[in-house]
Structure formats: structure tokens, C-alpha cells
Amino acid sequence: MASNALFVGLMSGTSIDSVDAVLILCSSSSIELRSTLEHPIPTDLRQSIADISQAGSNEIERMGVLDRQIGALFADACNALLRQAGVAPEAITAIGSHGQTIRHRPPSGGNPTAFTLQIGDPNTIAERTGITTIADFRRRDVAAGGEGAPLAPAFHAAAFARAGVNRAIVNIGGIANISLLAGETLLTGFDTGPGNTLLDHWISRHQGHRYDRHGSWSAQGQLQTALLERLQTHPYLACRGPRSTGKETFNTGWLDECLSQLPVYAPQDVQATLAAFTAQCITDSIVTSGLTVEEVYVCGGGAYNTDLMRRLHKQLAPAQLGSTAALGIAPEWVEGAAFAWLAWRTLSGLSGNASVVTGALGERLLGGIYPGSQPLLFR
């Protein structure tokens, strides 16, 4: 493979808000962001993804159709990105596609046959773009006894670690996760609990908005201590070691159950308490890690939630708090860049997981390779 090669990363997360498409120039010594695009997900497709993420009837048929539809959507996102950047498909070495997670049953959840499932047919992506596509990154880690998630911490270490400085990289998507960096060493990383998922569902239910812009609604509410204490009793928060979670665990059904045991609160007070809950889960994970963190950088959509960032700033002081934009990659593009980087790792014959994070038996080459119209280029 050429020492500097162009890769595309495609990512759609738990929030199902868009397909993030990222073009990077990658080498063994650098990661350079070249172009980015937020590609919309049609409303009906977003609803179909949300529906199949819960147990229901006729799942195989529905999944098969969605697999192709999401693959086509991801291909369209890649093609639109390249048109915007003025780059020919032939110039791209490979696409790294995360796919859309529709079920996550990790070993830390007590699942005897753990599995994780992302859809978005990579054959369709390769066919419609002509570009070799690397996909299905998570399942090899699970096969090796790991959680399959989070995978971003290895990228966080490569892109954001700095000798002599202890940093926490916090990704606040639907679910939040952290990476703890002691200088250039990745100590650990794990899902801390809910990020935006409960906040998004609650404001959608009461105000019809997809998300709480800038956290303006949660900022209007009052913290309800009894509710916060009830939320904090979730068994996941007592777990230690490699762990991951998803909306199978933190969802509106669980929230409604918690609320049913308490007085009726004003909706904005529930929103404020959910924001406090997300911030507290992140803070507790950093404080109890044993690492004295000097700098905290946030990525994901939560970095733009002013109320959430205010809460984190207050709880994490005196650590410096900012977004990953200060480190060269805007918050919304970090995960897309991570999967482009993971595709580079795969074609370079390098492992993509960090066993100290996922708990896998060792580091593994991740992803399946689906050839495009050009010859494969390996190291």
C-alpha cells in the first residue's frame, strides 16, 4: 500500500440522525482529515431502523430489506462525499463502514452466546461505489471473547494521545464512552452509560423534536434528586472491567419503569435530571479510574449540548474541558474518521481492537474485505 492513502469512513450511530461520511489521508505517522459530509437518513428508513432494533415479528425479512437499503444509503453518502471533494472513486483505497447497529448483546451483559449485529450490506456499498469496502469490524472481537465495543479508543490513542499528558476522550453519542490515555498509552476504555439516547427520546415524546438543541430544554428544568438516585441504581453502572451497552439496556421502557415508582415530575425536570445522569455517569467513570486526568476532550453530538458540557465542566474541574476540535478533528467527525482508520489498519495487516478495552483474548485483524472494481492493494 502507498505510504499515504485515501480512505473513506462511514458511520451511523445509536441516534440514527445521519450517515457521517469522512475522507482521510492516512499513513503510519499521520491522520489528515480531507473532507466531510453529513448525509440525511430518510424519515421512513430511520423509523424502520428504530423498529427493528426492538424484538418484533418477521424480523428476518425486515432485516434483509433494511440491510440492502442501508447499504445503498451508505454508498450514496460515499459518492456524495467524493463529488463534494472532487476526488475520483479510483483514488480511494478503501471504505471503512461501521454499518447500523440493530442489536448488541455483549458478554458483560451475561449473554452466554454474545453477539453484536450491524447491517448495511457491504456488497452493495462496493458495487455502487466501485471501492473496496471493509465492514463487520465488531464481530471478530466478540468471537475472540471481547465486547465488540467500543472500538474507537484505539483510534483515540493514535489521533489524540500526547506524551506527558493524561487525557480522557469522551464520545457522547446515543451511548457515551471514554478512552483513558496516560501519555501515549491507552489504559482502558468502555461505555459509561447513556449519552444522548434518553434525552432524545424524552424531548421527542414531549415536544416532538429529534434532540434538545444546545440542551436549552434541560437547562430550564430542575434536578430531581430522587429520580437521579433511582437512575443510578442500574446494575450496569456497578460493572467493572471491559463493558459495553446500548439502547437494549438504557431505553424509554426502563425510564418509564423508574418514573412509575416516583412522583409525577414536570417534563423539563425529567430532562434536566437525564442530563445530570449522563454527566454523572461520565464523571464517575473518569474519577474512579485511578488516573489523574488533566485534559478532557469531548466528541460526538453531545459536545454541542451546552447544558451537558456545563455540567461536565463543573463536575470535572480542575481538569481542562474542551472538544476534540482543539485536537484537530471536529466532534461530529471523530467516529467516521475512526472507521476509515480501521479500514487502513485492516489493509495494512494491523490489528484494530484494543484488548485492554474490549477484553478480547488478544488483538485481532478486524473486518471483512469486499472488493470493489479496482485490484486490492495490500501491504
pLDDT (mean) for 295-317? 97
The pLDDT of residue 4: 86
Which residues, at least 6 apart from 91, have a Cβ–Cβ distance to it below 8 Å?
A: 6
How many Å apart are CA 169 and CA 187, to the nearest integer? 12
pLDDT (mean) for 332-346? 98
Residue 376 has pLDDT above 80, yes or no: no
How many Å apart are CA 107 and CA 77, to the nearest integer? 33
pLDDT of 40-72, one tens digit each?
Answer: 999 999 999 999 988 888 999 999 999 999 999
The pLDDT of residue 28: 82
Residue 375 has pLDDT above 80, yes or no: no
pLDDT (mean) for 267-274? 98
Residue 96 has pLDDT above 80, yes or no: yes
Tell me 174's DSSP state.
S
CATH numbers and ranges of domains, the chain: 5-149+332-370 (3.30.420.40), 152-331 (3.30.420.40)
122 in helix, strand or coil? Answer: helix
pLDDT (mean) for 159-167? 97
pLDDT (mean) for 70-99? 98
Residue 378 has pLDDT above 60, yes or no: no
The pLDDT of residue 2: 59
**Percentage of the chain lying above the pLDDT 90 cut:** 93
pLDDT (mean) for 99-106? 96
pLDDT band at 379 (very low <50, low <70, confident <90, very high): very low
How many Å apart are CA 189 and CA 149, to the nearest integer? 9
pLDDT band at 218 (very low <50, low <70, confident <90, very high): very high
Tell me 248's DSSP state.
T
pLDDT (mean) for 92-117? 96
pLDDT (mean) for 139-143? 98
CA dihedral for 287, 291, 292, 297, sign (positive or negative)? negative
The pLDDT of residue 377: 57
Over the range 98-131, which residues count as b (16 or more CB within 10 Å of their CB) and which as e? bbbbbbbbbbbbeeeebebbbbbbbebbbbbbeb
The pLDDT of residue 45: 97
